[in-house]
Amino acid sequence: MAASRLPFPLTLTGDGILLREWRSEDLDDLVRMLDEPEIARWTPMPSPFDVEAGIAYLKRCYQNRVTGQRIQLAITADGGRPLGEVLLFGVDLGLKEAELGYLVDVRERRRGLASGALSLLSAYAQSSLHLSRLLLRIDPRNVSSTAVARRCGYRLTGEPPILQEGPHGSSRLDTWELVEHQSGRRSDRLKNVAARRYGRRT
């Protein structure tokens, strides 16, 4: 990786998912996806999330991408309609650490998209960006997000919670760290994704 810039543009594929750069044509899908109560509850997105917020979001995203500040990719099946978003930000090259985040369209949840996207970006961060400490910050009441973290090999670090005040009151964000090497989990993940497609668990 260049000393301080994250790669742009970037496409990552695997496990039936394609992560791609956001495009201006995604505006309508982005607004429909982000204007949703769970996203308002658990992420710092403005609420209501209207067209104006969407335009500002895509503009900021593009600036962060061209300046190499963060990785912010649309989750898609085949490069088409965005189904969610996965991010890597707060990169500290000295500590080799970064934080990741994710969200999925309410109509596309419980299909393994967040876990698939997080696994792909985590594997890329480890193997191509050589980041060894990958972190998630999650409110323990957000059961779907903690399930995603656990499924992808992240574990609670035991660090003191980060206290935050927001429109929904106070929250305490726990820190999770990736502890299982991605390549070691690949066969398990593929097995589970296949099981989900066929409606049963392994």
Ligand X SMILES: CC(C)(COP(=O)(O)OP(=O)(O)OC[C@H]1O[C@@H](n2cnc3c(N)ncnc32)[C@H](O)[C@@H]1OP(=O)(O)O)[C@@H](O)C(=O)NCCC(=O)NCCS
Residue 109 binds ligand X, judged by CB under 6 A: yes
CA–CA separation, 168 vs 49, rounded Å? Answer: 16
b/e code 120-159 from CB counts within 10 Å (16+ = b): bbbbbbbeebebeebbbbbbeebeebbebbebbbbebeee
Decide: is 147 part of the binding site for ligand X (CB under 6 A): yes
- The pattern of x and - marking residues 151 through 170 that bind ligand X according to CB under 6 A reads x-------------------
How near is the Cβ of 179 to ligand X at its closest, in Å?
16
Q: Which is nearer to ligand X, 29 or 38 (CB)?
A: 38
Q: Characterize the bridge pairing of strands 169-178 and 133-138.
A: antiparallel
Give the binding range for ligand X (CB under 6 A) out of 10-18, 66-74, 121-129, 139-147. 139-147
DSSP state of 161: P
Work out the burial of residue 57: count CB atoms within 10 Å of its CB; fewer than 13 is exposed, 13-18 middle, 19 or more buried.
Answer: buried
CB-nearer residue toward ligand X: 76 or 142: 142
Closest CA to 136 of 116, 124, 122: 122
Contact positions with ligand X (CB under 6 A) in 35-94:
38-39, 42-43
- Least Å from the CB of residue 43 to ligand X: 5
Determine the Cα–Cα distance for residues 23 and 169; give it in Å rounded to an integer.
34
What is the distance between the alpha carbons of residues 22 and 117, in angstroms, rounded to a whole number?
A: 15
Q: Which is nearer to ligand X, 66 or 188 (CB)?
A: 188
H or E element that contains 38? helix 37-42
Task: With beta carbons less than 8 A apart as the criterion, state whether 88 and 75 touch.
Answer: no
185 binds ligand X (CB under 6 A): no
Q: Is 110 in the site for ligand X (CB under 6 A)?
A: yes
Q: Does 32 bind ligand X (CB under 6 A)?
A: no
The correct pick among 76, 119, 145, 182 for binding ligand X (CB under 6 A) is: 145
User: Minimum distance from CB of 2 to ligand X (Å)?
Assistant: 29
**How many residues touch ligand X (CB under 6 A)?**
22
Residues near ligand X (CB under 6 A): 38-39, 42-43, 102-104, 109-115, 138, 142-145, 147-148, 151
